[in-house]
Structure formats: structure tokens, C-alpha cells
């Protein structure tokens, strides 16, 4: 994609970076609108009620109307807040979420930056949201906001450990950190996806299957905590903290927190897809190959990558309206007493299998 852009726009550095980032931004914003509507519709279905059904056909334009309403609201800053940090925090949170999309391989044709440390980069840059959340809670000069921010920081920092351990388990088998290369290795059939042990027919592949499944389960549970989703949503516990770290924020700044949350949901879902479920690879082959239509293949790859990611986003939404919220002590127990020890044992076993 980088070579294509350089040939298309020349050596204008600013135009190059804008052209590379704009498609990602044009995906993230509509996705957030769609995901909010999907969450409201799914929750309504699970609770046996109708949900949004007034604005547009079947309520499809409800979130668009909500955004238009929020844009007309007054932007207020609490008198006792630290104004500079209060304004900066939502932008920092969104930047941390949006920057992670740069290393996601949406297809063999389009990836923002095919860097060799793609997995490491995504995990590192997404940690920037922790700084923004803590900044938002402290700068608000509100005790509920500060409680929510401290809970979120403790939670995200703790659950980053099992996330990293489960990612290391996969990297030990693959031997690569470039997500584009990882996706290219999982070709031909869904039996070559790393959730099934990866490509190859040797005995190692079949020995790895249960432990790769364990790595994925640990990764997925920990990723729920990383994005503050139920049952790990105590930083935004409405019954205790009003709204958590963004209590004092008025419409558009609040919308940026909301946008970052849903962007993070797709980011961790896409990382799951890239590491365990073949990335942009089709499980059944490509129609473009069957009918000799080369330009159709990147479109199919884009469809499969986004489709798999949306499936895991749906699972995240589904769990929110199914599971109860954990207490703070239960949340930490799950991380330090269960996920981290299991992830360590899993790494040791996978290391032994790959060495033997």
C-alpha cells in the first residue's frame, strides 16, 4: 500500500500520511455509529423490548440523530478543573486507540504500516489510553471521576500481563511480529489458522491445538478488561461512580471517549483475528481466483477481515447484556490468581512442544 501511495501522490510527505490514515478514520467513525446502534438493538432483543425504532427506517438513523444533537450542545468545563489537561485527555485517549489501527492488515493490499514489530506496536501504543484516562479523572477534580480513573488504570495495567503472555505464546510458534506476514502464513485452509495449531501437518501442530485455544481464551477474556467491557466495566460502574472517569465531560468530548471505546473493541477483535483466526484469509478460498478476477481478491480479503472482527465485537456486546459486573477484588483475583498463572504454564508447555 505504501508503494502504491508513493506512486500515486509523489513525494509529498503530508499528503502521503493523510492518504494512509484517512481510510482508517473513515472506517472507525462509521463503525462506532454502527456499533452503538447494534449494542442498543442487541440489548433490546435480549431484554425483550423494541429499542430505537423512531428515527429512520427501523431506527437506523438514531445514532446519527444523537450525534447531531450532541454537536449542538454547549461545551462546558468545570470551574475547578485543570483546563489544559481536561481538554487534552479525550484527544489522547482517541489517539491511543486510533494509532493502533496503523498496523492492522485489512487485506494483502491495504495495511497502514507493515512494520516488523506490528504486534508489539499495537500493544504499546494502545497503552497510551491509560495516560488519557488517568488524566481525565484527575483533571476533572471530581472524586467519582478520579475513582473511576484509578480503577481503570489498575485494571488495564494488570490485564496487560495476561494479554502479553498469550500473545507471546503465539509469537513463540510463529516466530514473527509482523501481522501481515502472520496473516500470509495462515493460507489455504482454516485448518492452518493458529487457533488450530498453525500451518503444517506434523505432530507439533496437533499437540499445540489445545494450548493455542487456551491462549486465545486468556487473550479474549483479558481484552474485555482492556477495553472496560462487562464483566470488567467497574471503571464506569453507573451504580457506584455515576459515569466513571468521564462524568464531567459534555457532549463532544464525551463522544470522543465513546468513539475510542468502540474503536478499541474492534482493535482487540482484529488482533484476535490476525493472531488466531487467519487475518484476512478466507476459510474457503477466493472467488477472484476461481473466476480469474484478480481485483476481486482484495475486496474479499477486506470482507473476511472486517466480518471476523465484527463477529468478535458482537460477542463483546452479547456478553455485556449477559454477565453481571465483577467486584473490584474479584476482578483482580481473576487476573492475578487465575489468568496470569495459567498463561505462564501455557507458555512453558508451548515452549517445550516447539523445542522438541
Q: What is the pLDDT of residues 130-158, one digit of tens each?
A: 888 889 989 988 888 888 888 888 888 89
**What is the model's pLDDT at position 174?**
86
* 86: alpha, beta or left? (left if phi > 0; alpha if psi -120 to 50): alpha
Helix axes 143-174, 118-126, angle to 10 degrees: 170
CA distances from 230 to 118, 137, 151, 165, 225 (A): 28, 20, 14, 22, 8
Q: Are 56 and 62 in contact (CB under 8 A)?
A: yes
**pLDDT at 107 > cutoff 90:** no
Using a pLDDT cut of 90, give the percent of the chain over it.
22
Full-model pTM:
0.89
Residue 42: is it exposed, middle or buried by C-beta count within 10 angstroms (0-12/13-18/19+)?
A: middle
Residue among 27, 16, 15 at smallest CA distance from 302: 27
> In the structure grid, which three cell numbers stand for residue 165, read together?
503472555
**pLDDT at 257 > cutoff 70:** yes
**What is the model's pLDDT at position 203?**
80
Q: What is the pLDDT of residues 186-210, one digit of tens each?
A: 876 778 888 887 776 678 888 888 9
Q: Are 278 and 192 in contact (CB under 8 A)?
A: yes
What confidence tier does 28 reach under pLDDT thresholds 50, 70, 90?
confident
Amino acid at each position: 500500500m505504501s508503494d502504491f501511495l508513493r506512486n500515486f501522490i509523489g513525494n509529498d510527505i503530508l499528503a502521503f500520511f493523510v492518504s494512509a490514515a484517512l481510510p482508517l478514520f473513515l472506517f472507525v467513525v462509521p463503525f462506532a455509529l454502527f456499533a452503538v446502534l447494534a449494542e442498543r438493538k442487541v440489548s433490546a432483543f435480549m431484554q425483550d423490548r423494541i429499542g430505537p425504532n423512531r428515527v429512520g427506517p427501523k431506527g437506523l438513523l438514531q445514532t446519527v440523530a444523537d450525534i447531531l444533537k450532541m454537536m449542538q450542545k454547549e461545551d462546558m468545563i468545570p470551574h475547578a478543573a485543570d483546563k489544559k489537561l481536561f481538554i487534552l485527555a479525550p484527544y489522547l485517549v482517541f489517539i491511543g486507540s486510533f494509532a493502533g489501527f496503523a498496523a492492522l492488515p485489512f487485506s494483502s493490499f491495504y495495511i497502514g504500516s507493515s512494520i516488523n514489530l506490528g504486534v508489539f506496536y499495537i500493544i504499546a501504543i494502545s497503552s497510551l489510553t491509560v495516560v488519557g484516562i488517568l488524566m481525565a479523572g484527575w483533571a476533572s477534580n471530581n472524586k467519582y471521576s478520579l475513582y473511576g480513573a484509578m480503577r481503570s488504570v489498575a485494571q488495564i495495567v494488570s490485564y496487560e500481563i495476561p494479554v502479553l503472555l498469550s500473545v507471546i505464546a503465539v509469537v513463540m510458534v510463529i516466530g514473527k511480529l509482523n501481522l501481515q506476514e502472520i496473516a500470509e502464513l495462515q493460507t489455504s485452509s482454516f485448518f492452518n489458522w493458529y487457533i488450530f495449531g498453525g500451518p503444517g501437518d506434523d505432530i507439533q501442530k496437533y499437540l499445540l491445538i489445545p494450548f493455542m485455544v487456551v491462549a486465545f481464551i486468556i487473550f479474549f477474556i483479558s481484552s474485555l478488561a482492556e477495553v472496560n467491557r462487562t464483566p470488567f466495566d467497574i471503571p464506569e460502574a453507573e451504580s457506584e461512580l455515576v459515569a466513571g472517569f468521564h462524568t464531567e465531560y459534555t457532549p463532544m468530548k464525551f463522544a470522543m471517549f465513546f468513539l475510542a471505546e468502540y474503536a478499541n473493541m474492534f482493535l482487540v477483535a482484529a488482533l484476535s483475528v490476525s493472531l488466531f483466526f487467519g487475518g484476512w484469509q478466507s476459510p474457503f478460498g477466493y472467488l477472484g481466483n476461481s473466476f480469474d478476477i484478480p481485483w476481486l481478491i482484495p475486496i474479499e480479503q477486506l470482507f473476511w477481515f472486517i466480518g471476523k472482527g465484527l463477529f468478535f465485537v458482537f460477542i463483546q456486546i452479547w456478553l455485556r447484556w449477559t454477565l453481571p459486573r465483577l467486584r473490584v477484588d474479584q476482578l483482580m483475583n481473576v487476573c492475578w490468581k487465575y489468568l496470569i498463572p495459567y498463561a505462564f504454564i501455557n507458555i512453558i508447555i508451548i515452549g517445550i512442544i516447539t523445542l522438541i
